[in-house]
C-alpha cells in the first residue's frame, strides 16, 4: 500500500471490527474506542466536512492543532484521505495553513484568522459533542457540523504515493514514506499528540501493520502502567 486511502481500505477488508484507536482521558473519565470501521466512518465524515462543506482541495495545507485526543487521529486521516498536507505552520506569515482544526486551549490564537481560512474547533468533550458556549465569529463547531456528513466518502482526486502527506518545519514526507513500509502490528500505548511528527508516524505505521493505538492523556505514570496492562498494550515511548 502506498497511500492512506489504499491502506485504510485494506484495513477494512482485513479486520473491520477490531479496535484501532482507544482513547483515555484521566481527567474527564472518558474512554472512547474506535474500531477500524468506526474510525473509517469518522474519517469519512471529517473528509466531507473539510472538502464538501469548507471547499478544501487536494494539495491544500491544514494545521491540526489538537492535543492528545482521538479526534486528532480522525482529522489526520481525513487530511490524508483527501490529499491535504498536514503542517505545523503557525500561520504567522504568508505560508500559513489553508485551514485549521483546533481545540479549546488553542482556539483564541486562531480565531482572529477565521475570516481568511476555514477554522474548525473541537470541544474535546466526550463523544465529540458541541461547545457549550458560542464560538467566535467565523469559527465552525465540529460538534455541530460533522454529524450531518455521510459515513462514506470517496475522494474525487485521491492522493498518489508521491503526494505530500505531512510537512514538518518545511520538510515534506509523502504518502509512500508513511504508508509504503511494513508497519507495526502491535498494540501500543502513547501519550504523544497524534498530529505531531512522532504521533503521525506512529498512527500511519499501526494502520499499515494492522496494529492498534491506545492514546492516554492526563495520566500519572502508575495509571499509564495500569492502562497498558488492562489494554494489553506496550508503552510507546517507554514511560518506565
**Per-residue model confidence as pLDDT tens digits over 193-223:** 999 999 999 999 999 999 999 999 999 999 9
Strand 171-174 relative to strand 164-168, pairing? antiparallel
Who contacts 230 (Cβ-Cβ below 8 Å, separation ≥6)?
none
- In CATH, what number does 4-184+198-235 get? 3.40.50.12780
What pTM did the predictor assign?
A: 0.96
Query: Does the structure show a pLDDT above 90 at 238?
Result: no
pLDDT given at position 90: 85
User: pLDDT by residue (tens digit) across 87-132?
Assistant: 999 876 666 899 999 999 999 999 999 989 999 999 999 999 999 9
Do 62 and 28 form a contact (C-beta atoms < 8 A)?
no
pLDDT given at position 38: 98
> Would you list the DSSP string of 158-195?
PPPTTSEEEEETTEEEEHHHHHSS----SEEEE-S-TT
Query: Does the structure show a pLDDT above 50 at 182?
Result: yes
- Give the C-alpha distances (Å, rounded to integers) separating 11 from 1, 18, 20, 37, 221: 11, 10, 10, 9, 32
β-sheet bridge partners, residue 34: 21
pLDDT given at position 26: 96
Amino acid at each position: 500500500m502506498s497511500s492512506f486511502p489504499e491502506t485504510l481500505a485494506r484495513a477494512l477488508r482485513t479486520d473491520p471490527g477490531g479496535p484501532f484507536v482507544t482513547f483515555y482521558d484521566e481527567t474527564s473519565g472518558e474512554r472512547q474506542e474506535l474500531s477500524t470501521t468506526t474510525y473509517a466512518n469518522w474519517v469519512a465524515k471529517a473528509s466531507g466536512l473539510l472538502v464538501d462543506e469548507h471547499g478544501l482541495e487536494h494539495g491544500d495545507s491544514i494545521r491540526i492543532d489538537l492535543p492528545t485526543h482521538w479526534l486528532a487521529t480522525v482529522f489526520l486521516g481525513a487530511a490524508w484521505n483527501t490529499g491535504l498536507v498536514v503542517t505545523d505552520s503557525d500561520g504567522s506569515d504568508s505560508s500559513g495553513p489553508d485551514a485549521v482544526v483546533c481545540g479549546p486551549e488553542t482556539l483564541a490564537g486562531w480565531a482572529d484568522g477565521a475570516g481568511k481560512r476555514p477554522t474548525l474547533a473541537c470541544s474535546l468533550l466526550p463523544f465529540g459533542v458541541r461547545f457549550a458556549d458560542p464560538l467566535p465569529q467565523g469559527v465552525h463547531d465540529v460538534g455541530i457540523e460533522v454529524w450531518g456528513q455521510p459515513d462514506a466518502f470517496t475522494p474525487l482526486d485521491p492522493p498518489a504515493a508521491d503526494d505530500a502527506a505531512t510537512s514538518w518545519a518545511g520538510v515534506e514526507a509523502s504518502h509512500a514514506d508513511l504508508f509504503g513500509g511494513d508497519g507495526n502490528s502491535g498494540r501500543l500505548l502513547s501519550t504523544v499528540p497524534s498530529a505531531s511528527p512522532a504521533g503521525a508516524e506512529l498512527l500511519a505505521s499501526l494502520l499499515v501493520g494492522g496494529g492498534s493505538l491506545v492514546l492516554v492523556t492526563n495520566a500519572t505514570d502508575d495509571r499509564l502502567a495500569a492502562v497498558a496492562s488492562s489494554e494489553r498494550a506496550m508503552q510507546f515511548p517507554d514511560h518506565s
